[in-house]
Amino acid sequence: MLARTSWPRKSRELHNHHMDSTVWNDFVFRRDDIIVGTYAKSGTTWTQQIVGQLLSCGSEDIRVAELSPWLDMRILPRAETLAMLDAQRDRRFIKTHLPVDALVFSPEARYLYIARDGRDVVWSLHNHLANATDQFYQVINDTPGRVGPALERPPTDIRAFFLDWLERDGHPLWSFWENIASWWDIAHLPNVKLLHFADLKRDLEGEMRGIADFLDIAIDESRWPTILEHCGFDYMKANAAAAAPLGGALWEGGASTFINRGNNGRWRDVLTVEDNRRYEAIAREQLGEACVKWLACGEKLPAWA
C-alpha cells in the first residue's frame, strides 16, 4: 500500500518574519512522530494540549510550549531546538504553520491539521497582535535572518484589518488560502486527519476520542475525566502559562491574553453583508465548494476524510 501512495514532496522554502521552512530539511523523523499543523490562530495550542494530555494520561505537568515547539518559527535557535527534540524519549508532537509544499512530509508520521473559518481567525489574530508587547515585535523583526517586510502593529479598526487580510491573502501573515488548500488536498492520506475548531467546541469528548484512535493512543478510562477536564477552555485559561510561548511574557496581560476567548462569530456584528459576500466569493474561488462548506463550520467531510 505504501508503495502505491503518492506522498507529498517539498517543492519550495517559505521564509518571512515568523517562519523559516529550511529547518525541516535538518529534522530527523521518528516513525511515531505527531505533527500538529494549522494556518495560525485556529486551535493550534488547543490541539497540542489535547495531544499532550492523551500521551501523558492527564498529567498536570505537561508544558506543551516547551515540549512541542513551533519548529519552523525562525527566532528559535535551530541547533538547540533540534537537539531538544532529539533528546526526547517520549513520543514527540511538533507544531508547524507551513503549507504542505514547504514541509518535509514523512509517510510514517501522523498529521493533525486544524482549521477555522477565516473570519474567526482574523478576530483572534487581531487580539494576538494588538496585545503583543514592544518586545514581541522587536524579537520577531530584529532577530537576524528575517526575509521580507517587518511585522507591524494592526490598526485599531478590526474591520479594516480584516479587509486588508482578505484582499492581501493573509497579510500581515502568510497565505490563508494556499495553506488550507494544501492540507485539504492531502486529507485522503491515511496518516492525515483534518480537525475543525468548531467541532472541538461542539463535541470535545468525541473529537478527542477520534484523535486518540487516529494516533493509536490507548485511553485509560479511569483517567478520562481528568484528561477531558485538562483540555477544556477553563482549565487551559487557568493554566495558560504552561501553554503560551515563553509563558505569555510577550503579551500584555500575560498568558491569559494569549489563551483568549476561544469564541467564534464575533465578526457577525462588525462585517457588512458585502464584506461577507466578498469573503465567501474568494473562498469558493480559492478552495472549491466542498472545502468552503467544511471550513465554514466543520462537521461534514467527504467520505475519504
Cell numbers linked to 163: 479587509
Q: In CATH, what class is 2-297?
A: alpha beta
pLDDT above 70: residue 29: yes
Which range scores top for mean pLDDT: 2-11, 16-25, 54-63, 255-264?
A: 16-25
Cell numbers linked to 214: 487516529
Cell numbers linked to 164: 486588508
Residue 303 is predicted with a pLDDT of 52
CA distance 63 to 3: 38
Query: What totals of helices (H) and strands (E) does the chain contain, helices first?
Result: 14, 4
| Nearest CA among 115, 37, 113 for reference residue 296 | 115
- Going by C-beta distance under 8 Å and a sequence separation of 6 or more, which residues neighbour residue 21? 12, 13, 14, 15, 72, 98, 102, 103
Strand order in the sheet with 110-115: 93-96, 34-38, 110-115, 192-196
Lowest mean pLDDT among 12-16, 80-84, 166-170, 232-236: 232-236
Crossing angle between the packed helical segments 273-287 and 118-130, to the nearest 10 degrees: 110
Residue 304 is predicted with a pLDDT of 44
For 161-192, write each residue's pLDDT tens digit.
999 999 999 999 999 999 999 999 999 999 99
| Nearest CA among 74, 291, 107, 73 for reference residue 182 | 291
Residue labelled with grid coordinates 529550511: 22
Question: What are the residue ranges of helices labelled H in the chain?
Answer: 44-56, 64-67, 78-87, 118-130, 134-142, 158-167, 176-184, 197-202, 204-214, 224-230, 233-238, 255-258, 273-287, 289-297
For 58-105, write each residue's pLDDT tens digit.
998 888 888 999 999 999 999 999 999 999 999 999 999 999 999 999
Could you give the C-alpha distances from 193 to 31, 143, 196, in angstroms and in order? 17, 34, 10
For 242-272, write each residue's pLDDT tens digit.
766 766 677 776 655 566 556 788 899 999 9
**Domain-wise residue ranges, the chain:** 2-297
CA distance 291 to 298: 10
pLDDT band at 237 (very low <50, low <70, confident <90, very high): confident
Going along 15-164, which residue ranges are E strands?
A: 34-38, 93-96, 110-115
Residue 241 is predicted with a pLDDT of 74
Q: How much is the average pLDDT of 143-152?
A: 96
> Which 3 state secondary structure label does DSSP give 303?
coil
